[in-house]
Chains A and B, each alone.
Chain A
Amino acid sequence: MSHAFDASEFLAGFLVEAEEHLSASTMNLLAVEASLRKGENNPRAVRELFRSLHTVKGLSAMVGIEPIVDIAHAMETVLRKADRAAGALSAKAVEALLAGLRAIGERVRALSTSAPVAPAPPQLLDALAALEITKDEAPITVELDLEPGLLAKLSDAEKAQLIQGAENGRRALRVDFVPSPARAAEGTTITSVRERIGAMAEIVKVVPLSIPASDAAPGGLAFALLVLTDATDEALAAAAATTPEEIQTLHARRVDEADPLGEPDSAEEGVGETEGRRRGIVRVDVARLDDALERLSALVITRFRLARAADALAAQGVNVGELCEIVKGYGRQVRDLRGSIMRARMVPVAELLDRVPLIVRGLSRTTQKPVRVVIDAGKAELDKAVAERIFPAIVHLIRNAVDHAIEPPAERQRLGKPEEGLVRVTCFERSTNQLELGISDDGRGIDREAVARRASRPTPADDAALLDLITLPGLTTLDQATKTSGRGLGMDIVKRAVLDLGGELGLRTTPGAGTTFTLLIPLTITIVDAFSFVCGEQTFVAPISAIEEVVEVAPEALVRGPSRHSQLGEVRFMERRGEIVPLVNLASVFSLASGEEPKALVVRRNGTPLAFGIQRVVGQQEVVIRPLEDPLVKVTGISGSTDLGDGRPTLVLDLVALCGALSQNRTEVAA
């Protein structure tokens, strides 16, 4: 070897692409299944599947993941046959391919956690190898009036697609695009044209054509885009940098007998699929966006420095009016830039939930319960980092729903419910910075008394108390952990996942009718408006969103209560607008040197207020939060660190979580 090739360097990129192909393949396979139920083939989805599996196989081979190569190869073989048989796949084949995707998914996930990758399961490979694919012949009796050179480039399926589209009332058109260096310099390339046309039309095929080189076509090249659309010629012409007159309508003509169209293309060529939606989308590793944010944080810090310097000048009596305006403008620009980066980090929630139907399917089969899943994610988007953290919790709630909540079909029949259970996942933006995810089922509901008995606790009075109880660490509501939900996350961890994101978990359950869990989660977590304050001689920051109010503490108005918990120091009570608010000394909570604490931050958790006494408030500013991932420094109530401009880390507090930890402590002591 003249130089080493380190495949591990590409592992992160591999994982990103593999996940994308897996998620696209799942959707395509489900589309095949849906077509199958209508008695139709879905050649387009089959080709996409083939292409994805082929790519996964090639990538896995490069990074040396043989088990995935083996599985992908077996699946690819089935799909190649199916592609040659016009997309014919049996229900049994769909089943086996789904199993294959699952097996690859498991291995990709193992890889992402640096766990050993299991070999390809021999039963799976055997099952895939045993599949028979048969072709059903459907002679074509309609032909398009296209020049023969172009026509020869179209597959049967593509022709059928154009003809059917035209028969269904859409316009089948040919739009030509002529690339040139001048156009490329303006950003008009086949890639951007394809993307623009793709937004207003269904692109069936793009064919490159050699044309005489001229001033207008210096490359001697044109692309013919064959599309189905409802858009106007003007709009299409603008998108392809051409004129409406150049757009050609395609007509279908009947032919007496099927033309001898020759053998279907081999799969390698046959996979030249036109798929418009993905084009123009740049895949970006989240790490790169994080890097951009990191750099942005330097700008945010510069802004504080500028503001501080301006204040210092003002204190010396200098007129800083104009300087302050500039600093303000700079602040706005930084905010806008931040907005753009944050938007780049957003992923559609619908995409996040792509895998849910597959998961429900698997569970439905294992539990022998027919279950229908309804997903309504609308157009909501979520920061990728948040999405990755919340997904396991969603999966766990879905598992619980299918496994525990939905009754077996016989029981449902007896109860007069539809035999098929229902799991619904909904999502909408509750505010500009908060998303509400709902996971509901129409199952048996949670039996408060039964839960209480199992936990040897008093029966909870309401759903909120019930939620507190079922999310206690280590509590399971079933006598035996079942196969599907016995492992992985418990309800306590679902709650932790939500709380760690600064979110809230809610529960609504009706015995006999069903249960809904709601997850309120922030759309982004990285940059927040925060108060900085000093407590126990150390500076901290806390997101403003978590703080209801900053109040002055009047020592003479405080009431001392009996202190049940010496660790917290003294718990005192103050009156605030008719409400009694407990006050704890934040420095004592953190075992820091405590002194005068004339101010307090009021935080509310589940409707109950708590005030944290602090020394003084320093200011309010935007901070970039870096999560603290290392186990050495994972502490409840401390959600990350930030840099206020002094070059040292400042801890970011999650006062709501701290509040929760304190009250839990107290309950335990009280119990």
Chain B
Amino acid sequence: MVRVGGRVTEILVVDDSKVMREMIVACLRVAEDFTFTHAASGLEAIEKLALQAFDLVVLDLNMPDIGGFEVIEFIRGQDKLHHLPILVVTTRGDEGSRSRALGAGASQFMTKPFTPDAILANVQSMLRPDGAESP
């Protein structure tokens, strides 16, 4: 179980596919103190990030409105969001986007399809950057 300062961990899940968001949430749901907020577009994500505090963002790259890269750029351009962990989850087979995403400021990058364990482990390690505790 993950505890960040003894409070609930707020995760923003950004993907234009509702099914994909539900799948991501299903994978992460096992940690009881996670709560999830959905955003169906990059714009919606940016708005929520500006108005609300989150502990972590799970972000798709390929979206209508504005894409994931612009969301990363926006996050990294904000003082208060500078340290927000961003897990980019995108469709496999695009090595170029991995280096671009990490270069732009994503904290972690994983490709679909992913296993529940992999995404959960990634999220947990990102929330515990010191790696003090092992699962």
Contact = CB atoms under 8 A, between A and B. Distances in A.
Interface of A: 1-5, 7, 9-10, 13-14, 16-17, 51, 54-55, 57-59, 61-62, 64, 73, 153, 179-181, 184, 189-191, 194, 206-208, 210, 218-221, 223, 266, 268-269, 271-275, 278-279, 283
A59 B16 CA distance: 11
Contacts of A279: 41, 64
Given A9-B26, A51-B64, A190-B47, A283 B18 contact: yes
Given A55-B62, A61-B91, A191-B44, A219 B18 contact: no
A57 B43 CA distance: 23
A14 B19 contact: yes
Interface-centre pick from A51, A181, A269, A274 (highest chain B CB count, 10 A): A269
Contact of B66 (A7, A180, A206, A220): A206
A5 B116 contact: yes
B134 interface: no
Contacts of B46: 190, 208, 221, 223
Interface in B30-67: 30, 40-44, 46-47, 50-51, 61-67
A5 B27 contact: yes
A208 B66 CA distance: 9
Interface string B105-124: 00000001111110010000
Interface residues of B, number: 47
A273 B50 contact: no
Contact of A206 (B43, B51, B62, B117): B43
B77 A190 contact: no
A269 B70 contact: yes
Contact of B51 (A2, A191, A210, A219): A219
A237 B5 CA distance: 43
Interface string B84-104: 000000111110110010000
Given A189-B47, A191-B41, A221-B46, A5 B26 contact: yes
Nearest to A205: B66
A272 B42 contact: yes
B20 A59 contact: yes
Given A17-B18, A179-B47, A272-B42, A62 B113 contact: yes
B92 A61 contact: yes
22 contacts: A3-B116, A5-B23, A16-B19, A190-B44, A190-B47, A194-B43, A206-B43, A206-B66, A210-B74, A210-B77, A219-B50, A219-B51, A221-B47, A223-B43, A223-B47, A269-B67, A271-B63, A272-B64, A272-B67, A272-B70, A274-B65, A275-B64
Contacts, number: 143
Contacts of B117: 1-3
A268 B67 contact: yes
Nearest to A62: B113
Contacts of A208: 43, 46, 66, 70, 74
Contacts of A55: 16-17, 62
B32 to A, nearest CB: 13
B116 A180 contact: no
A17 B17 contact: yes
Contacts of B70: 153, 208, 269, 272
Contacts of B113: 61-62, 64
B107 to A, nearest CB: 18
The 8 residue pairs across chains A and B that have the minimum distance between CB atoms:
A219-B50, A58-B91, A13-B19, A221-B50, A272-B67, A5-B116, A61-B113, A272-B66
B18 A13 contact: yes
A153 B70 CA distance: 9
Given A10-B22, A58-B20, A179-B50, A271 B62 contact: yes
Contact of A189 (B18, B19, B44, B61): B44
